[in-house]
Amino acid sequence: MGCCQSTNSGPDDAPRPAHPGARIAPPLNGAVNQPRQVDGAGSTNGRPNKPIRPTSPMPTSPSHNHQLPPPWRRSLLERERTAFFDTRVTGRQEVWDALRVACDLLRHGNVVDAQGVLDAANVTSPLGRIYVDKGKHRRPGGVYDERGEIYDIPKWVVADPQDLVEDQEEKDVEGGASDEEEDLAAAQQTLAAERRRQDKGKGRAESPGEKLYVKVRFSDGSPDVAFTADAKHPVAASLRQAEHMSGKSVRLMYLGKSLREDKTLLEQGWQKGHVLNAMVHEVDGAMLGEAASK
Protein backbone atom coordinates (compact mmCIF):
# COMPACT_ATOMS: atom_id res chain seq x y z
CA MET A 1 0.00 0.00 0.00
CA GLY A 2 1.16 3.44 -0.80
CA CYS A 3 0.78 6.36 1.51
CA CYS A 4 -1.72 9.22 0.96
CA GLN A 5 0.99 11.41 -0.45
CA SER A 6 1.91 8.90 -3.11
CA THR A 7 -1.68 8.65 -4.33
CA ASN A 8 -1.99 12.41 -4.77
CA SER A 9 1.23 12.82 -6.79
CA GLY A 10 1.91 12.05 -10.41
CA PRO A 11 5.09 11.05 -12.19
CA ASP A 12 6.09 14.71 -12.51
CA ASP A 13 5.40 15.39 -8.80
CA ALA A 14 2.77 18.01 -9.76
CA PRO A 15 0.16 18.42 -6.99
CA ARG A 16 -3.24 16.90 -7.59
CA PRO A 17 -6.52 17.78 -5.93
CA ALA A 18 -7.21 15.87 -2.73
CA HIS A 19 -10.88 15.51 -3.69
CA PRO A 20 -12.99 16.19 -6.80
CA GLY A 21 -13.75 19.90 -7.39
CA ALA A 22 -10.77 21.22 -5.40
CA ARG A 23 -8.73 24.09 -7.05
CA ILE A 24 -5.00 23.77 -7.60
CA ALA A 25 -2.87 26.79 -6.66
CA PRO A 26 -0.75 28.07 -9.59
CA PRO A 27 3.01 27.58 -9.38
CA LEU A 28 4.94 30.43 -7.83
CA ASN A 29 7.15 30.96 -10.87
CA GLY A 30 4.09 31.82 -12.97
CA ALA A 31 3.49 35.04 -11.04
CA VAL A 32 6.29 36.75 -12.93
CA ASN A 33 4.24 36.84 -16.13
CA GLN A 34 0.96 37.87 -14.53
CA PRO A 35 -0.51 41.24 -15.65
CA ARG A 36 -0.10 44.20 -13.33
CA GLN A 37 -3.05 44.51 -10.96
CA VAL A 38 -5.06 47.73 -10.82
CA ASP A 39 -6.81 49.26 -7.86
CA GLY A 40 -10.57 49.56 -7.41
CA ALA A 41 -10.75 52.86 -9.32
CA GLY A 42 -9.02 51.43 -12.38
CA SER A 43 -5.68 53.23 -11.98
CA THR A 44 -2.37 51.42 -12.31
CA ASN A 45 -0.39 54.12 -10.50
CA GLY A 46 -2.38 54.69 -7.33
CA ARG A 47 -4.00 57.96 -8.43
CA PRO A 48 -7.81 58.32 -8.57
CA ASN A 49 -9.19 57.48 -11.98
CA LYS A 50 -12.74 57.51 -13.30
CA PRO A 51 -14.13 56.62 -16.73
CA ILE A 52 -14.42 59.72 -18.89
CA ARG A 53 -17.89 61.07 -19.57
CA PRO A 54 -19.41 62.67 -22.69
CA THR A 55 -18.70 66.39 -22.86
CA SER A 56 -21.64 68.79 -22.73
CA PRO A 57 -21.75 71.68 -25.26
CA MET A 58 -20.41 75.13 -24.35
CA PRO A 59 -23.04 77.89 -24.06
CA THR A 60 -20.93 80.45 -25.94
CA SER A 61 -17.70 80.67 -27.90
CA PRO A 62 -14.45 81.39 -25.98
CA SER A 63 -13.81 85.01 -25.01
CA HIS A 64 -10.19 84.75 -23.80
CA ASN A 65 -8.82 86.42 -26.95
CA HIS A 66 -9.95 90.01 -27.58
CA GLN A 67 -9.08 89.65 -31.27
CA LEU A 68 -11.47 86.70 -31.61
CA PRO A 69 -14.72 87.70 -29.88
CA PRO A 70 -17.78 85.39 -29.84
CA PRO A 71 -19.40 83.94 -31.81
CA TRP A 72 -16.75 81.89 -33.60
CA ARG A 73 -16.91 80.42 -37.09
CA ARG A 74 -16.43 76.70 -37.61
CA SER A 75 -13.25 77.27 -39.64
CA LEU A 76 -11.83 79.54 -36.92
CA LEU A 77 -12.57 76.97 -34.20
CA GLU A 78 -10.79 74.23 -36.15
CA ARG A 79 -7.75 76.46 -36.75
CA GLU A 80 -7.51 77.34 -33.06
CA ARG A 81 -7.79 73.67 -32.06
CA THR A 82 -4.98 72.74 -34.42
CA ALA A 83 -2.85 75.62 -33.14
CA PHE A 84 -3.49 74.57 -29.54
CA PHE A 85 -1.99 71.10 -29.99
CA ASP A 86 0.80 72.35 -32.29
CA THR A 87 2.06 74.88 -29.73
CA ARG A 88 2.28 72.79 -26.54
CA VAL A 89 5.66 73.27 -24.87
CA THR A 90 5.11 71.32 -21.63
CA GLY A 91 4.44 67.63 -21.08
CA ARG A 92 5.28 64.70 -23.35
CA GLN A 93 4.55 64.85 -27.06
CA GLU A 94 3.23 61.28 -27.23
CA VAL A 95 0.66 62.11 -24.54
CA TRP A 96 -0.46 65.24 -26.40
CA ASP A 97 -0.83 63.16 -29.58
CA ALA A 98 -3.04 60.68 -27.71
CA LEU A 99 -5.11 63.52 -26.23
CA ARG A 100 -5.61 65.04 -29.70
CA VAL A 101 -7.10 61.74 -30.89
CA ALA A 102 -9.20 61.32 -27.73
CA CYS A 103 -10.64 64.84 -28.02
CA ASP A 104 -11.62 64.21 -31.64
CA LEU A 105 -13.35 60.97 -30.65
CA LEU A 106 -15.23 62.69 -27.82
CA ARG A 107 -16.45 65.42 -30.17
CA HIS A 108 -17.95 62.67 -32.33
CA GLY A 109 -19.58 60.97 -29.32
CA ASN A 110 -17.24 57.94 -29.32
CA VAL A 111 -16.55 57.75 -25.58
CA VAL A 112 -15.54 54.08 -25.58
CA ASP A 113 -12.72 54.48 -28.10
CA ALA A 114 -11.60 57.72 -26.44
CA GLN A 115 -11.29 55.85 -23.13
CA GLY A 116 -9.27 53.15 -24.90
CA VAL A 117 -6.84 55.74 -26.27
CA LEU A 118 -6.31 57.22 -22.79
CA ASP A 119 -5.82 53.77 -21.26
CA ALA A 120 -3.26 52.85 -23.92
CA ALA A 121 -1.31 56.05 -23.17
CA ASN A 122 -1.58 55.38 -19.39
CA VAL A 123 -3.46 58.67 -18.93
CA THR A 124 -5.78 58.99 -15.92
CA SER A 125 -8.69 61.32 -15.21
CA PRO A 126 -9.45 61.68 -11.48
CA LEU A 127 -12.95 63.08 -12.06
CA GLY A 128 -13.81 61.61 -15.45
CA ARG A 129 -13.63 65.05 -17.12
CA ILE A 130 -10.88 65.45 -19.70
CA TYR A 131 -11.01 69.25 -19.82
CA VAL A 132 -10.45 71.95 -17.20
CA ASP A 133 -13.31 74.46 -17.08
CA LYS A 134 -11.93 77.92 -16.31
CA GLY A 135 -15.25 79.72 -16.69
CA LYS A 136 -17.37 81.24 -13.96
CA HIS A 137 -18.37 77.80 -12.63
CA ARG A 138 -14.70 76.72 -12.20
CA ARG A 139 -15.37 73.01 -12.54
CA PRO A 140 -12.27 70.91 -11.81
CA GLY A 141 -11.05 68.28 -14.19
CA GLY A 142 -8.03 67.44 -16.32
CA VAL A 143 -5.90 64.38 -17.04
CA TYR A 144 -2.49 63.18 -15.82
CA ASP A 145 0.24 61.06 -17.33
CA GLU A 146 1.97 58.21 -15.50
CA ARG A 147 4.49 60.66 -14.03
CA GLY A 148 1.73 62.74 -12.41
CA GLU A 149 2.02 65.75 -14.76
CA ILE A 150 -1.29 67.46 -15.56
CA TYR A 151 -2.36 68.23 -19.14
CA ASP A 152 -4.55 71.33 -19.17
CA ILE A 153 -7.15 71.20 -21.96
CA PRO A 154 -9.78 73.96 -22.32
CA LYS A 155 -13.36 72.91 -22.93
CA TRP A 156 -13.60 74.44 -26.42
CA VAL A 157 -10.98 71.93 -27.61
CA VAL A 158 -13.31 69.06 -26.67
CA ALA A 159 -16.80 70.52 -27.23
CA ASP A 160 -18.46 72.78 -29.80
CA PRO A 161 -19.93 76.09 -28.57
CA GLN A 162 -23.70 76.35 -28.98
CA ASP A 163 -23.41 79.75 -30.69
CA LEU A 164 -20.96 78.41 -33.30
CA VAL A 165 -21.58 79.83 -36.79
CA GLU A 166 -21.20 77.33 -39.60
CA ASP A 167 -19.20 78.67 -42.56
CA GLN A 168 -21.94 78.04 -45.13
CA GLU A 169 -24.23 80.34 -43.15
CA GLU A 170 -21.75 83.22 -43.45
CA LYS A 171 -22.04 83.96 -47.15
CA ASP A 172 -22.66 87.47 -48.40
CA VAL A 173 -26.26 87.85 -47.29
CA GLU A 174 -27.83 91.31 -46.99
CA GLY A 175 -24.49 92.97 -47.61
CA GLY A 176 -22.57 90.87 -45.08
CA ALA A 177 -18.79 90.62 -45.43
CA SER A 178 -17.00 87.45 -46.51
CA ASP A 179 -14.34 85.67 -44.45
CA GLU A 180 -11.53 87.19 -46.53
CA GLU A 181 -12.92 90.71 -46.12
CA GLU A 182 -13.24 90.27 -42.37
CA ASP A 183 -9.66 88.97 -42.07
CA LEU A 184 -8.40 91.89 -44.17
CA ALA A 185 -10.35 94.38 -42.05
CA ALA A 186 -8.89 92.90 -38.86
CA ALA A 187 -5.36 93.15 -40.27
CA GLN A 188 -5.94 96.76 -41.31
CA GLN A 189 -7.22 97.63 -37.83
CA THR A 190 -4.12 96.13 -36.25
CA LEU A 191 -1.85 98.06 -38.62
CA ALA A 192 -3.75 101.29 -37.99
CA ALA A 193 -3.44 100.82 -34.24
CA GLU A 194 0.32 100.33 -34.56
CA ARG A 195 0.65 103.46 -36.69
CA ARG A 196 -1.36 105.50 -34.18
CA ARG A 197 0.94 104.25 -31.45
CA GLN A 198 4.01 105.27 -33.42
CA ASP A 199 2.59 108.68 -34.36
CA LYS A 200 1.70 109.35 -30.73
CA GLY A 201 5.33 108.98 -29.73
CA LYS A 202 6.72 111.28 -32.43
CA GLY A 203 8.26 114.51 -31.29
CA ARG A 204 9.17 113.27 -27.82
CA ALA A 205 11.95 110.98 -26.71
CA GLU A 206 10.80 107.72 -25.19
CA SER A 207 13.00 106.18 -22.57
CA PRO A 208 14.12 102.70 -23.58
CA GLY A 209 12.53 99.83 -21.72
CA GLU A 210 14.05 96.71 -20.27
CA LYS A 211 15.75 94.43 -22.77
CA LEU A 212 14.09 91.02 -23.07
CA TYR A 213 15.67 87.87 -24.46
CA VAL A 214 13.11 86.33 -26.83
CA LYS A 215 13.30 82.88 -28.40
CA VAL A 216 10.91 81.87 -31.20
CA ARG A 217 10.12 78.28 -32.27
CA PHE A 218 8.55 77.66 -35.71
CA SER A 219 5.71 75.26 -36.46
CA ASP A 220 7.40 73.90 -39.60
CA GLY A 221 10.40 72.56 -37.66
CA SER A 222 12.91 75.14 -38.92
CA PRO A 223 15.66 76.28 -36.50
CA ASP A 224 14.73 78.55 -33.59
CA VAL A 225 15.68 82.22 -33.70
CA ALA A 226 16.56 84.39 -30.72
CA PHE A 227 16.88 88.15 -30.32
CA THR A 228 16.53 90.95 -27.78
CA ALA A 229 13.38 93.08 -27.66
CA ASP A 230 12.45 96.25 -25.83
CA ALA A 231 9.93 95.54 -23.07
CA LYS A 232 7.97 98.68 -24.05
CA HIS A 233 7.68 97.78 -27.71
CA PRO A 234 4.54 96.00 -28.97
CA VAL A 235 4.54 92.42 -30.24
CA ALA A 236 4.52 93.79 -33.79
CA ALA A 237 8.21 94.68 -33.37
CA SER A 238 9.09 91.12 -32.29
CA LEU A 239 7.00 89.76 -35.17
CA ARG A 240 8.96 91.80 -37.72
CA GLN A 241 12.25 90.70 -36.17
CA ALA A 242 11.25 87.00 -36.29
CA GLU A 243 10.11 87.29 -39.92
CA HIS A 244 13.28 89.16 -40.91
CA MET A 245 15.57 86.56 -39.32
CA SER A 246 13.67 83.52 -40.67
CA GLY A 247 12.42 84.78 -44.02
CA LYS A 248 8.97 83.42 -43.19
CA SER A 249 5.53 84.95 -42.67
CA VAL A 250 4.37 83.92 -39.21
CA ARG A 251 1.79 84.49 -36.48
CA LEU A 252 3.19 84.69 -32.95
CA MET A 253 1.49 82.66 -30.21
CA TYR A 254 2.08 82.00 -26.53
CA LEU A 255 0.64 79.02 -24.60
CA GLY A 256 -1.83 78.30 -27.40
CA LYS A 257 -3.14 81.89 -27.70
CA SER A 258 -2.53 84.35 -30.53
CA LEU A 259 -0.65 87.43 -29.37
CA ARG A 260 -2.07 90.89 -30.07
CA GLU A 261 0.39 92.91 -32.12
CA ASP A 262 -0.55 96.25 -30.51
CA LYS A 263 0.31 95.12 -26.97
CA THR A 264 3.62 94.21 -25.35
CA LEU A 265 4.71 90.69 -24.46
CA LEU A 266 4.55 91.41 -20.73
CA GLU A 267 1.04 92.85 -21.00
CA GLN A 268 -0.12 89.53 -22.43
CA GLY A 269 1.31 87.37 -19.68
CA TRP A 270 4.59 86.31 -21.33
CA GLN A 271 7.21 85.26 -18.78
CA LYS A 272 10.94 85.62 -19.17
CA GLY A 273 12.62 82.47 -20.43
CA HIS A 274 9.48 81.08 -22.08
CA VAL A 275 9.48 80.25 -25.79
CA LEU A 276 7.17 81.95 -28.27
CA ASN A 277 5.60 79.80 -30.98
CA ALA A 278 5.40 80.98 -34.57
CA MET A 279 2.73 79.54 -36.86
CA VAL A 280 4.20 79.67 -40.37
CA HIS A 281 1.96 80.93 -43.17
CA GLU A 282 2.23 79.45 -46.67
CA VAL A 283 4.09 82.40 -48.22
CA ASP A 284 7.13 82.45 -50.48
CA GLY A 285 10.05 82.99 -48.12
CA ALA A 286 12.23 84.60 -50.86
CA MET A 287 9.58 87.26 -51.51
CA LEU A 288 9.28 87.94 -47.79
CA GLY A 289 13.04 88.30 -47.45
CA GLU A 290 13.13 90.85 -50.28
CA ALA A 291 10.32 92.80 -48.66
CA ALA A 292 12.05 92.78 -45.27
CA SER A 293 15.30 94.10 -46.74
CA LYS A 294 13.61 97.14 -48.33
> What pLDDT sits at residue 96?
93
Q: Is residue 258 a contact partner of residue 68, using CB atoms and an 8 Å limit? A: yes
Phi, psi (deg, nearest 5) at residue 257: -115, 140
Residue 111 has pLDDT above 80, yes or no: yes
Binning pLDDT at 50, 70 and 90, where does residue 178 land? low
Please tell me the least confidently modeled range out of 22-26, 163-167, 249-253, 289-293.
22-26
Tell me the pLDDT tens digit for each residue of 86-102: 988 888 999 999 999 99
- Residues 259-271 pLDDT 10s: 898 989 889 888 8
Mean pLDDT (the chain) is 74
pLDDT digits (tens, 9 = 90+) for 46-67: 567 889 888 888 888 888 877 8
Instruction: Give the pLDDT score at 249.
Output: 87
Left, alpha or beta for 22 (phi > 0: left; psi -120 to 50: alpha)? beta
Reply yes or no on whether the pLDDT at 163 is more than 50: yes
pTM over 0.85: no
User: Could you report the per-residue pLDDT of 207-261, keeping only the tens digit for each?
Assistant: 566 888 888 898 888 888 888 888 888 988 888 888 888 888 888 888 878 889 8
